[in-house]
């Protein structure tokens, strides 16, 4: 058999999982694998950056799952600090530039994997590029932030954005001893939750000593005479800052794909089929933060940049490229996070998501505890559940509470995948023992209340 060449653009989770899985299925005599990565790092956990910056993870290299050398030992020709600058699908080749030497090369492919990831949203505001303003998307970004902190005298940090990255970075900066202000454009932090649940996060952040300013759209970054950041301005006020962390989300990095005419969705992410093959392109696959995924609850494509999906995509792509078989059916929108001891979780649709796709729903919110009420350390857990009007089909769950809250959302994630009704959920045989749950698990209590609400009567 002639040797085929697989080219992978992007050396992080999706790209290198695809390469590794393909290599497991096909040896170097059957499949040559060339991968390009523009940064200094491969196969690392970007999700771990807040914990490295905060000091929980002492060494950067602990975030690296597999080094370039380890990939090369497995016969993957991983070219670091090499950026792909053009994709020629008609010619079946990519042009790359060595970022150290500036040399450019064309490399032909039989099969191509696009795993170019996401780029931070960076509004074009005055001062955005000033020293002391940092994104935290890549290990390079994290290193730059830490270097900047080491040089900085003052202890005032402003975090822009209060989504997952924002709240995790607020915790990280608090742990490093900074006085932390979070500026959030919306009415409540964690816009991935409904505002009533976001309010619980806001209250907890207040309790931690994090100043959260809501309705605070940033208008510019102010710098001092040394050019260094000195404050963040909104329409209403100025917030003094010795360092600014941007946590305002990411968007698919699909510049290359767009230029090559590949199909993009409404969020700018690549569109694939269930096998993660780019629609209409027999020999091109895409995965990770640069693609859109099917939301199984709403039936719409969404952009969900998460390491766990990227790894699954890579696995599926590698299986298909390597002659095996795999599919990625879609997501239900599960996400978990924490701010210090407060755990935050969601899956499925928020109220506004349901409305947007034409679903009518009822909601039920309950308060319970993470263990039997009499067990030492029992602490509050709030569960909000959305169910479709009349059918009672589960549409979404949000949980805010102490230890044991976040991963309880997995119960709902599986139930959503299975298309269960909230009434079916009331009979779920969930683990019960006093250290782990009240005799009615909080998710069951929510399901019971949602069921009563759906039926509009006692059950």
- Distance separating alpha carbons of residues 74 and 62, to the nearest angstrom: 21
Query: Using CB under 8 A, which residues numbered 58 to 97 contact a second copy?
Result: 62-63
Q: Does 376 bind a second copy (CB under 8 A)?
A: yes
Nearer to a second copy, 13 or 94 (CB): 13
For the four alpha carbons of 241, 245, 249 and 250, in that order, the dihedral sign comes to positive
Q: How far is the CB of 336 from a second copy (least distance, A)?
A: 4
Closest Cα partner for 4 from 105, 96, 111, 115? 111
Residue with Cβ nearer a second copy (216 or 395)? 395
In the complex, minimum distance from the CB of residue 430 to a second copy, in angstroms, rounded to a whole number: 5
- Pairing relationship of beta strands 82-88 and 133-134 according to DSSP bridges: unpaired
> What is d(CA 322, CA 159) in angstroms, rounded to the nearest whole number?
43
Q: Which stretch binds a second copy (CB under 8 A): 187-195, 240-248, 354-362, 431-439?
A: 431-439
**Cα angle 201, 204, 206; round to 5:** 110
C-alpha 238/C-alpha 452 separation (Å) is: 49
Contacts with a second copy in 147-186 (CB under 8 A)? 164
Count of CB atoms situated within 10 Å of the CB of 147: 11
The residue (of 215 and 434) whose beta carbon lies closer to a second copy is: 434
Who's near 279: CB < 8 A, 6+ residues apart? Answer: 263, 271, 272, 273
User: What's the distance, CA 66 to chain centroid?
Assistant: 20
Q: Is 431 in the site for a second copy (CB under 8 A)?
A: yes
Identity of the residue, 160 or 413, whose beta carbon is nearer to a second copy in the bound complex: 413
Whichever of 109 and 164 has its CB closer to a second copy, that residue is 164
Minimum CB separation from a second copy for residue 85, in Å? 30
By rule CB under 8 A, what count of residues binds a second copy?
Answer: 75
User: 3, 24, 88, 355: which one contacts a second copy (CB under 8 A)?
Assistant: 24
Contacts of 124 (CB under 8 A, 6+ apart): none
DSSP secondary structure, 301-316, as one string: EE----HHHHHHHHHH
Residue 43 interacting with a second copy (CB under 8 A): no
Task: Figure out which of the listed residues 125, 275, 294, 372 binds a second copy, where binding follows CB under 8 A.
Answer: 372
CB of 26 to a second copy, least distance (A): 10
Range 226-245, binding a second copy (CB under 8 A): none
Q: How far is the CB of 44 from a second copy (least distance, A)?
A: 10
Nearer to a second copy, 68 or 348 (CB): 348
Instruction: Return phi, psi of residue 201, to 5°.
Output: -65, -45
Among positions 98-157, residues that touch a second copy (CB under 8 A) are: none
Q: How far apart are CA 68 and CA 77, in angstroms?
A: 9
Please list every residue from 435 through 454 that binds a second copy, using CB under 8 A.
435-437, 439-441, 448
H or E stretch including 85?
A: strand 82-88
Q: Which 323-342 positions form the footprint of a second copy (CB under 8 A)?
A: 324-329, 331-338
Among 319, 354, 383, 447, binds a second copy (CB under 8 A): 319
Single out the catalytic residue among 47, 64, 294, 414.
47
Choose which of 182, 345, 366, 446 interacts with a second copy (CB under 8 A): 345
Nearer to a second copy, 52 or 239 (CB): 52
The Cα 186–Cα 217 span in angstroms is: 8
Which residues, other chains included, contact 228 with Cβ-Cβ below 8 Å and sequence gap of 6+?
130, 131, 132
Other beta carbons within 10 angstroms of residue 301's beta carbon come to: 18
Active site residue 340: no
Q: Which residues are catalytic?
A: 47
């Amino acid at each position: 058999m002639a040797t085929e060449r697989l080219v992978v653009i992007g050396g992080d989770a999706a790209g290198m999982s695809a390469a590794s899985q393909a290599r497991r299925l096909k040896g170097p005599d059957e499949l040559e694998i060339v991968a390009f990565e523009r940064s200094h790092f491969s196969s690392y956990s970007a999700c771990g950056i807040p914990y490295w910056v905060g000091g929980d993870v002492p060494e950067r290299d602990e975030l690296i799952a597999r080094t370039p050398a380890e990939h090369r030992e497995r016969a993957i020709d991983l070219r670091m600090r090499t950026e792909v600058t053009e994709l020629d699908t008609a010619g079946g080749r990519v042009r790359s530039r060595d970022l150290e030497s500036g040399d450019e090369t064309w490399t032909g492919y039989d099969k191509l994997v696009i795993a170019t990831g996401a780029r931070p949203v960076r509004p074009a505001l005055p001062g955005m590029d000033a020293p002391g303003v940092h994104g935290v998307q890549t290990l390079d970004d994290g290193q730059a932030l830490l270097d900047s902190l080491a040089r900085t005298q003052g202890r005032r940090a402003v975090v822009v954005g209060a989504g997952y990255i924002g709240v995790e970075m607020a915790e990280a900066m608090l742990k490093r001893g900074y006085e932390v202000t979070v500026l959030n454009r919306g009415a409540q932090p964690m816009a991935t939750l409904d505002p009533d649940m976001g309010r619980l996060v806001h209250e907890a952040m207040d309790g931690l000593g994090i100043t959260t300013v809501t309705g605070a759209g940033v208008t510019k970054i102010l710098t001092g005479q040394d050019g260094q950041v000195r404050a963040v301005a909104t329409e209403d006020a100025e917030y003094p800052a010795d360092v600014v962390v941007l946590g305002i989300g990411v968007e698919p990095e699909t510049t290359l794909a767009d230029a090559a005419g590949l199909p993009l969705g409404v969020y700018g992410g690549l569109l694939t089929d269930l096998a993660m093959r780019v629609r209409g392109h027999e020999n091109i696959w895409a995965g990770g933060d640069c693609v859109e995924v099917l939301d199984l609850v709403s039936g719409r494509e969404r952009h969900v940049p998460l390491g766990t999906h990227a790894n699954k995509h890579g696995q599926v792509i590698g299986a298909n490229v390597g002659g095996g078989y795999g599919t990625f059916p879609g997501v239900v929108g599960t996400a978990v996070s924490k701010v210090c001891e407060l755990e935050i979780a969601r899956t499925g649709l928020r109220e506004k998501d349901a409305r947007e796709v034409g679903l009518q729903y009822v909601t039920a919110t309950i308060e319970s505890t993470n263990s039997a009420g009499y067990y030492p350390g029992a602490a509050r857990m709030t569960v909000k559940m959305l169910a479709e009007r009349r059918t009672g089909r589960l549409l979404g769950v949000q949980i805010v509470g102490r230890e044991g809250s976040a991963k309880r959302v997995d119960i709902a994630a599986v139930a959503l995948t299975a298309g269960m009704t909230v009434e079916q959920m009331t009979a779920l045989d969930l683990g019960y023992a006093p250290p782990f749950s009240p005799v009615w698990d909080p998710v069951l209590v929510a399901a019971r209340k949602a069921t009563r609400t759906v039926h509009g009567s006692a059950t």
